[in-house]
Each structure stands twice: as C-alpha cells, then as structure tokens.
C-alpha cells in the first residue's frame, strides 16, 4: 500500500509484540492516512482513546516519530508520564488529530486490533478506511461518532474481514464499500440502517426484557465466518419494508441494484418494486447528494413519468444543481415531447 502523507505528522507509539501500538497523532489536516510503518516496524494496533477527544494515559516508555511528507525523519524515546500532566502543552507537536478535528482516517493494512474507545466521541469523523485483518475490537469503539457515514473495507466481499465486528459497534446508519486492491472503484456497496435497543423493566420482579427496533440489527448479523452472506442480507428486506423509512429502503435497494454482487432474481424484483413505489424519494436522495451517476441509473432502469420528472427538476433548481436539472430536462424531452410527422402529398 502506498501512503502519501503531506506536511508534518507526529506519532506517539509503543511496541506491541513484533509490531507497534499507535497512541496519538498530530498534524494539520482533518484527513489522515496512517503510515504502514514507524521506525521500521509495522503498525498493528490502535491504542485506547487514540483518536478520541479524551487523551489516553501514557506509559513511561513511549516513542515519538516525526514524518515530513512521506519520510520518517526522526524517532526518539520519550517519558510518557510527563505527557499525563494536565499542564503539558501538546500543541508543541501540532494539532491533535482527535474527535474535534478528524474527518477521514485511513488505517494501515496490518491493523489487527482496535483497543477500547479508539474512536470515541469522534463527532466530526465521516469516513473510515480499513484493511481486512481486524480481529479484535474493544468497547465504546465508535460511541458518539454521530457523523460517521461511510466505511471502506479494502478487500473483496468474498474474503473474511473485521466488518462484522465493526458493525456490532455501530448502531447508526452506515454505508459500507468493498474496494479490493486499493482501488477506489467499489466491488460492492451496502447500506445498513440504524437500529435502537432498550430495556423494559417487568415489575415487580425487576426483570428486564431487551427490545430492538429496526431491521439494521438483523442485517448486521448476515455474516458467516467473517464473510457477508448476501442471501441473509437480502432476506431482511421483507421485514425492512414494514419498519424502515422510504429513505432507508431506497438506499438499501439502490445499492444492491447498482452493485448486484450475488443478487438473486427474487430479491432483485423486490428491490425494483421498492424503488418504483418510492421513486420520488429515490430522486430526492439522489439530488440531495448530487450523485450524477445514480441519477443516470434511475432514469435508465426505471420509467419516471412526467410528473415525477417535473418534481425532480424543481428539486434540482431548489438545490442549485444545474447538471442534474439539464439531464432531467433532456430525459423529459426525449421521452415525452410530441413527435411530428411530415407527409409528402405530391402524387
């Protein structure tokens, strides 16, 4: 994996077996690509509270590595206990790359473990990219990450990954992309809707029963031996039709239809019916995200009538999306404009 790191980055770390446990990062960009190695050793673990708004507690013997562009310029041993002093000025290292600043994080291929609360309270984090070797995840890993919306798995959807472990820690809406071989082109994209859990007390015995609302919970259980089982995932759609919002239904269906990895015809038809039923919602989501390729897909694979197209065009105007509006105008003209005929009446 070729990582490009711009400007200066500072990493605090400690040995972890034959690899490295990353403890804290500093830099000047909200988009971070963590290097594969520090001081000649592979980064294999992300330490507790590494990217959290709350700082971790440092042990006495830790190391500091400074990167300038893509070069590990210096590595020095530090007394980590001094960093635990509340008066220590971390701004000497640069901006802390934590939950108040980070928006995108790409982790190295060799990462196997995310320790407790590594991404706790990362309220600005939107996108996370990981390899396929994650096998251990701590508690409160993504708690309060209210803007995390896209998870990229850098691997094939036919190989084991840590996706099921990650999804167990994310109850909110999340889109997952499988992008093998460091490609930015996805092999498959899936949407997992949010779900809610609560405990009901049965009085007077003080016994609690667990209640779950949302099909996203069952969809997150669609794994066998670390590999996504598409039939299990697709089988959840029948119940999703009764409990999920039109927006969530459209996100589930459109992603499966656009990237139909092992999609059986029986489920394909159900997804198509759902989009036909909620075509206005599908257009609304597309226009909101200004996704031109999705707009083309909907128009090519479904048959919006003149009313739906007109409403979609109005929405484009409201959101100042001229490209989408121009495309819909052309679609409307090509589909519904009256045809004229010329007759030669000369005998």
Structural domain boundaries, residue 96: 1-148
pLDDT at 282: 98
pLDDT in tens, 36-86: 999 999 999 999 999 999 999 999 999 999 998 767 789 999 999 999 999
Q: CA–CA separation, 193 vs 33, rounded Å? A: 27
CA atoms within 13 A on the CB side of 247: 9
Q: CA–CA separation, 122 vs 26, rounded Å? A: 15
CATH number at residue 109: 3.80.10
**Quick one: pLDDT band at residue 342, thresholds 50, 70, 90?**
low
Residue 10 CA, chain-centre distance (Å), reads 26
Q: CA–CA separation, 283 vs 279, rounded Å? A: 6
Higher-confidence residue of 177 and 199: namely: 177
Q: CA–CA separation, 96 vs 32, rounded Å? A: 11
Is residue 131 one of the residues assigned to a domain? Answer: yes
**Quick one: pLDDT band at residue 2, thresholds 50, 70, 90?**
very low
CA 129 to each of CA 103, 125, 143, 190, 193: distance values in angstroms, whole numbers, following the listed order: 12, 11, 17, 15, 19
- Is residue 253 within 8 A of residue 274, CB to CB? The reply is yes
pLDDT at 211: 80
Is residue 142 one of the residues assigned to a domain? Answer: yes
Give φ, ψ of 118 to 5 degrees. Answer: -60, -35
Average pLDDT over residues 100-104: 97
Is residue 276 one of the residues assigned to a domain? Answer: no
Tokens matching residue 109: 């291929």
Tokens matching residue 51: 């990217």
4-8, 138-142, 220-224, 250-254: segment of lowest average pLDDT: 4-8
Q: Is the pLDDT of residue 232 over 90?
A: yes
Q: Is the pLDDT of residue 340 over 90?
A: no
Is residue 312 one of the residues assigned to a domain? Answer: no
Strand, coil or helix: what is 107? coil
Q: CA–CA separation, 13 vs 65, rounded Å? A: 8
Query: Could you write out the DSSP letters of every residue in 153-218?
Result: E-S-TTS--SHHHHHHT--S-EEEEE-GGG-SS-SEEEEE---EEEEEEETTTTEEEEEEESTHHH
pLDDT at 5: 41
Average pLDDT over residues 249-264: 98
Is residue 315 one of the residues assigned to a domain? Answer: no
Q: What is the pTM of this model?
A: 0.90
pLDDT in tens, 277-333: 999 999 999 999 999 999 999 999 999 999 999 999 999 999 999 999 999 999 999
Tokens matching residue 133: 């070797």
Q: CA–CA separation, 251 vs 248, rounded Å? A: 5
**Quick one: pLDDT band at residue 338, thresholds 50, 70, 90?**
low
pLDDT at 13: 98
Is residue 218 one of the residues assigned to a domain? Answer: no
60-74, 196-210, 260-274: segment of lowest average pLDDT: 196-210
96-105, 130-139, 318-327, 334-343: segment of lowest average pLDDT: 334-343
Pairing mode of beta strands 196-202, 207-213? antiparallel
- Name the domain count of the chain: 1
* Residue in the structure block whose two tokens are 């996203």: 216
Is residue 201 one of the residues assigned to a domain? Answer: no
Is residue 16 one of the residues assigned to a domain? Answer: yes
CA 166 to each of CA 12, 22, 142: distance values in angstroms, whole numbers, following the listed order: 24, 19, 9
CA atoms within 13 A on the CB side of 275: 27
């Amino acid at each position: 994996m070729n990582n490009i790191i711009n400007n200066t980055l500072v990493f605090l770390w400690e040995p972890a077996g034959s690899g490295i446990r990353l403890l804290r990062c500093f830099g000047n960009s909200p988009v971070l690509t963590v290097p594969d190695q520090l001081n000649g050793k592979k980064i294999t673990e992300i330490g507790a509270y590494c990217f959290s708004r709350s700082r971790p507690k440092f042990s006495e013997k830790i190391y500091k590595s400074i990167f300038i562009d893509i070069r590990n310029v210096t590595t020095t041993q530090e007394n980590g206990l001094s960093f635990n002093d509340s008066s220590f000025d971390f701004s000497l290292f640069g901006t802390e790359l934590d939950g108040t600043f980070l928006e995108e994080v790409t982790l190295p291929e060799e990462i196997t473990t995310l320790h407790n609360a590594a991404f706790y309270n990362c309220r600005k984090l939107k996108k996370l990219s990981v390899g396929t070797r994650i096998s251990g995840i701590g508690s409160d890993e993504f708690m309060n990450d209210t803007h995390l919306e896209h998870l990229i798995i850098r691997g094939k959807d036919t190989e084991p990954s840590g996706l099921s472990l990650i999804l167990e820690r994310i109850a909110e809406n999340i889109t997952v992309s499988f992008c093998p071989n460091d490609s930015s082109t996805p092999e498959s994209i899936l949407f997992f809707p949010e779900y809610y859990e609560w405990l009901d007390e049965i009085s007077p015995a003080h016994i609690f029963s667990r209640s779950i609302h949302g099909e996203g919970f069952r969809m997150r259980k669609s794994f066998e031996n670390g590999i996504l089982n598409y039939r299990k995932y697709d089988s959840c759609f029948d119940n999703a039709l009764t409990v999920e919002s039109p927006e969530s239904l459209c996100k589930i269906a459109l992603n499966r239809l656009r990237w139909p990895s092992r999609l059986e015809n029986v489920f394909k038809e159900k997804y198509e019916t759902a989009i036909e039923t909620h075509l206005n919602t599908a257009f609304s989501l597309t226009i909101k995200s200004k996704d031109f390729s999705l707009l083309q897909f909907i128009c090519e694979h479904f048959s919006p009538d003149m009313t739906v197209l007109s409403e979609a065009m109005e929405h484009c105007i409201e959101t100042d999306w001229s490209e989408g509006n121009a495309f819909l105008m052309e679609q409307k003209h090509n589909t519904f404009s009256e045809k004229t005929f010329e007759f030669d009446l000369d005998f």
